Structure 1
Amino acid sequence: MPNKPTSIHSHAKPIPLGHSTRPGHDNTILGASKQKTRYISVLPIVCVTVSWYLQLYSKLHNSARPLSLLSTMDSKIDVERVEDPSIEKNHAHLQSMARNATEREHNMTLLQAIKLYPKAVGWSLLLSTTVVMEGYDLLLVTSFFAFGPWVRKYGELQPDGSYQLPAPWQAGLYNGAAVGEIIGLFISGIVADRIGYRKTMLVALTMITALIFIPFFAPNVYALQAGSILMGLPWGVFQTIPTAYAAEVCPVALRAYLTTYVNLCWVMGQLLASGVLRALLTREDQWAYRIPYALQWMWPVPILVAICFAPESPWWLVRKGREEEAKQVVRRLTLRGADEDDEVHETLAMMVHTNEMEKELSAGTSYLDCCRGIDLRRTEITCLTWSVQNLCGSAFMNNSTYFFIQAGLDETNSFNLSMGQYAIGAFGTIGSWLLLSYFGRRTLYIAGLSSLFILLLIIGCTGLAPGSNAGAHWASGSMLLVFALIYNLTIGPVCYSIVSEISSLRLRAKTIVLARNVYNVFGIVNGVITPYMLNPIAWNWKAKTGFFWAGMCLLCLVWAVFRLPEPMGRTYAELDALFKQKISARKFATTEVDIFCDDPIEAPSKATNEE
């Protein structure tokens, strides 16, 4: 996914952090900045504490779930039930159906999956549309920093007669949204587990519809700051639920495409926002920035109405013991008129079998359970996989407008090239679908990091040229466009496939929440240090920033080589068995798994030893 851009500077002369040109206001602004920074730094701690209290409340008040008919057919039959041969027979029948469903998923081609699950594809694409909305909204936050009419409204007059929003407020608006997302993510993990994905999305869409009024009517930057934090709450929901939903309503053959489609939605939203701002550059009145805010209302209402008719995730229903409803949802997600009712029962049996396997491995479903036992390794992989997006130099990429301006281009051409960058990103994501079919997730991730490392070194070398060398500026700008292509071919989209597959089913929503919040923490750090790196009156690294990000990218590459496994073509039960047996990341792709033997958890070790 393309990261949320950090501050995009206008061609106005940058000003130091905390500095104001208005007489007598220097200390006031600096003090307010420090006070605001203290508040923002405390908020993540508060949200973690609240989430733990909610988890404790849930455990104390959650009544015991009734044992369903299918869930009694666990591979570990207790002593009392073993004496009943009919239950053993039913268990064997359940296991046989689950085996058939697993083999069918392994043998299913992409076209067969699309023909059999067109409704699942449609509903997944619908929920992912909320990410287009979020990509649009978040790009506005930083793009307005270089947008003349908006800066004249909310910025401050500079000695040279231009206007600019002080750097502390730039960081505050960007990081305020990130803090709101962290809180929203923690809450969404708890709420989605209790009421389901569909209802959680409906609540978030209702909230965002009301909260858009705040930036639209904001009289000053203080109101914008409040709106940025509050809108971050539903944005946090949109960052996780579409990915988890896509991974659970589609078969293995479609999983990589529907989860990586989320990255394309980010790029489409950013491209749309850039196009809207480019079209309004000639306007000088207040509607130049109010129209982009108002266009945010075109998303939530129609999506909300459509999601009212969307089915719940069948995997979530199985986890709640509502197998009959899950069976109806599976039938609803398949093509109408398909005469494979037996296949519906087999698919449901596979879900129940996988759920019971995971219950043996980890009975809990709290945030703390994500850091216990084998789930600790899965949480580490998902968290760092998503963090790589912020650690591989993407913050550098997302300040491309600044580089274009420094190369001597005017504001209009700079926005034109920014639109070109996002268009390249869209084509890159589509191209990644072709690569995923042949190379898998791990290979693309490692290849992408290797390529980005080389590009960042080249960009850093262009910074060694004299400042008057216009060719060096154009070279660094060109490398940024290539960076955008490689990033969206590999790291951007593949990340979504990995985080949705590596996490266990019972802890999926909460694991994705933790991963995205670690990503947001690094995003906040990027939002603070990137302006210093690029600002001529701060660190003034400019293109030499590429050396810093090349070093970070190299560290990410080393981690990926030794810790990132290949989940391509694996069912969730097979991934459970591989993690339980602690198979190394480099052997994931070659280890054979039989999850239907007498002891499926030990099956991988036998296959590995044979190698």
Structure 2
Amino acid sequence: MKTPRGPVATGSGIGANAPKNKWAGIVMTAFSAFGGILFGYDTGVVNGIKVMEPWLRRFGDELDSKGNFVLSSSRESLVVSILSAGTFFGALLGAPVADYIGRKWGIIFATLVFCFGVALEVGSNSVGIALLVVGRVFAGLGVGLVSCLVPMYQSECSPKWIRGAIVSGYQWAITIGLLLAAVINDATKDRADHSSWQIPIAVEFVWAFALAAGMFFLPESPRWLIMRGRDAEAAKSLGRLTGFSSNDPELLADLDEIKTNLEAEKLLSSNSYVDCFRSTDNKILFRTLSGIFLHAWQQLTGINFIFYYGTTFFQNSGIKNSFLITIATSIVNVFMTLPGMWGVERFGRRRLLLVGAAGMSLCEFIVAIVGVTIAVDNLTGQRVLIAFVCIYIAFFASTWGPITWVITGEIFPLQVRAKGMSLSTASNWLWNFGIGYATPYLVNKKAGSAGLESKVFFVWGSTCATAFVFTWFCIPETKGLSLEEIDDTYREVYPWQSVSWHAANLNRRRHAIGDTGDKDSSHTGEERES
């Protein structure tokens, strides 16, 4: 019996020839990136509150030489990393939630779970560390769901010519969340009572409400609606996103292409987790492993060492106002994500990942060398250390920060997209948990800890060098391709051949199907109006 081949893309992708009011759909899709603020803020807020004196008086479990409460390595590991344990399971839940509730309503459900966890954290002052930990687990479940569902929703709803920038907006929102956490922590740190740390946590209710309220008015993913057999609703949803009427021939052609590809995918798989690990002609197993390891390498760049433990690290390096330095690094993170959002459609995903890995590796080795060769009271050395930490963050923010989410939102076919993204995102949080838990034992100079301090940057520099090799062999260029066309890339070439294949074949293939109205976004990153 003849083995069924996967789908072959022949159309231009969502919104390729949309009228001028297409920007309404782009704005709607971009708004969902607000979910990144939950992710970033909740990640960053613990960095500051765990060194506030009122918080340490309530939750600290050791006394230092001056009689002040401090955290043991084990408790610090628990408080910081337990969020990531929750997010790991939240990311795994993202697949069934996305497939059965939907992308839109799944995000709203995630905000409710998140708010329950935040409420427990705020109330933990009267109960103790146990309630704080349980609250962070539930908040993590919500963040894990959001981190899976938001990039999925964005990838399925945004036009291909700007898809990379829109999904990168999710990472930009994460950096804004980190900055907001640093600013609010700094504003409340000098309060003498428990409000110093309760206020920053309670602010998370505001971000969750804004996301849920906004998503209520946005359309559901048309691809999910087609997968559920709700074609009429899919046409209306796609019409809102593209500016076409629901019976426009261009819109109906897009829907037919999505349905055709979905039917072909169903012949190859049964929509189970097992299908993510099948060896097929469109390399589903390879794509699943690529997504899982791409997120692992993003965490192994060491970036969350700065945003979880940066305040403590700068204090131990002799820098007096560590809160302000944390704000400065967060500002770098926010503004250097913007070049990445522009460059992802100008230079492509693969090239930026390679440049980013090389640049981060160099900076981290310099930080490690400076850290082990200068005294903590050497002002010049401190400035050099801060400067290269900021340059390192700039490389991450403009490359591996946003592009990891872009890639994993693009590389999976519709039939297994929710499960593939769920596994990839769960990998991100599993490594996040491992790094968050292990870092105090690696860095602190306490009994039972390795005491590496700044030498830990030798580890991060080495992992970034390995991430360069991984990218070269495993990550293809997907710039300017519809989600259906990306299937063809995996079917026909290896990742390191994708750039030349893209240039040699894209124009020829589109000309062969008579699609001459769409400017080749692989060269300009822009769309020509019809």
Q: Which position in structure 2 is the counterpart of 1:400?
A: 310
Q: Which position in structure 1 is the counterpart of 2:57?
A: 152
Question: What per-residue deviation string (whole Å, max 9, x for no partner) do you get for residues 270-294 of structure 1?
Answer: 1001101111122111211121122
User: Secondary structure at 2:50's aligned position in 1?
Assistant: helix
Question: What per-residue deviation string (whole Å, max 9, x for no partner) do you get for residues 369-427 of structure 1?
Answer: 111122111111111111111112224433332342234333xx211111111111111
Question: What per-residue deviation string (whole Å, max 9, x for no partner) do you get for residues 128-177 of structure 1?
Answer: 21220232122223321112221122213434121112221221122221
Q: 1:527 to 1:100 in 2, by over 3 A?
A: closer
Q: Which position in structure 2 is the counterpart of 1:580?
A: 491
For residues 518 and 119 of structure 1, the distance between their equivalents in structure 2, rounded to whole angstroms, comes to 34
1:165-314 correspondence to structure 2 within 5 Å: 165-218=71-124, 219=126, 220-314=128-222
Q: Which position in structure 1 is the counterpart of 2:403?
A: 494
1:323-362 correspondence to structure 2 within 5 Å: 323-335=231-243, 341-360=248-267, 362=268
Q: Which position in structure 1 is the counterpart of 2:461?
A: 550
Q: Does 1:322 align with 2:230?
A: yes
The TM-score normalised by the length of structure 2 is 0.87
Cα pair 1:124 1:258 within 8 Å, conserved: yes
Cα pair 1:214 1:227 within 8 Å, conserved: yes
The higher radius of gyration belongs to: 1
Cα pair 2:15 2:160 within 8 Å, conserved: no
For residues 124 and 302 of structure 1, the distance between their equivalents in structure 2, rounded to whole angstroms, comes to 15
For residues 108 and 13 of structure 2, the distance between their equivalents in structure 1, rounded to whole angstroms, comes to 33
Q: Which moved further from structure 2: 500-509 or 235-244?
A: 500-509
Percent identity over the alignment?
24
For residues 563 and 371 of structure 1, the distance between their equivalents in structure 2, rounded to whole angstroms, comes to 16
For residues 192 and 102 of structure 1, the distance between their equivalents in structure 2, rounded to whole angstroms, comes to 22
Q: Aligned residues, how many? A: 494
For residues 531 and 316 of structure 1, the distance between their equivalents in structure 2, rounded to whole angstroms, comes to 42
Cα pair 1:460 1:546 within 8 Å, conserved: yes
Q: 2:48 aligns with which of 143, 150, 156?
A: 143
Letter in 1 for 2:131: A
Question: What per-residue deviation string (whole Å, max 9, x for no partner) do you get for residues 67-103 of structure 1?
Answer: xxxxxxxxx89xxxxxxxxxxxxxxxxx9xx845459
**Alignment RMSD:** 2.6
The TM-score normalised by the length of structure 1 is 0.76
Q: 1:475 to 1:290 in 2, by over 3 A?
A: same
Q: 1:297 to 1:393 in 2, by over 3 A?
A: closer
For residues 142 and 389 of structure 2, the distance between their equivalents in structure 1, rounded to whole angstroms, comes to 31
Q: CA deviation at 1:572?
A: 1.9
For residues 213 and 469 of structure 1, the distance between their equivalents in structure 2, rounded to whole angstroms, comes to 42
Q: Which moved further from structure 2: 155-164 or 213-222?
A: 155-164
Q: Which position in structure 1 is the counterpart of 2:451?
A: 540
User: Where do 5+ consecutive residues of structure 2 fail to align?
Assistant: 514-530
Q: Which position in structure 1 is the counterpart of 2:522?
A: none
Q: CA deviation at 1:468?
A: 5.0
Cα pair 1:117 1:335 within 8 Å, conserved: yes
For residues 561 and 307 of structure 1, the distance between their equivalents in structure 2, rounded to whole angstroms, comes to 37
Q: Which position in structure 2 is the counterpart of 1:450?
A: 358
User: Where do 5+ consecutive residues of structure 1 fail to align?
Assistant: 1-75, 78-94, 599-611
Q: 1:473 to 1:403 in 2, by over 3 A?
A: farther
Runs of 4+ in 1 over 6 A off after TM superposition: 595-598
Q: CA deviation at 1:595?
A: 8.9
Q: 1:478 aligns with which of 387, 402, 420?
A: 387
Q: Which position in structure 1 is the counterpart of 2:520?
A: none
Q: Which position in structure 2 is the counterpart of 1:54?
A: none
For residues 468 and 349 of structure 1, the distance between their equivalents in structure 2, rounded to whole angstroms, comes to 64
Question: What per-residue deviation string (whole Å, max 9, x for no partner) do you get for residues 204-251 of structure 1?
Answer: 222223332211111211110111112221111111111000001111
Q: Which position in structure 1 is the counterpart of 2:526?
A: none
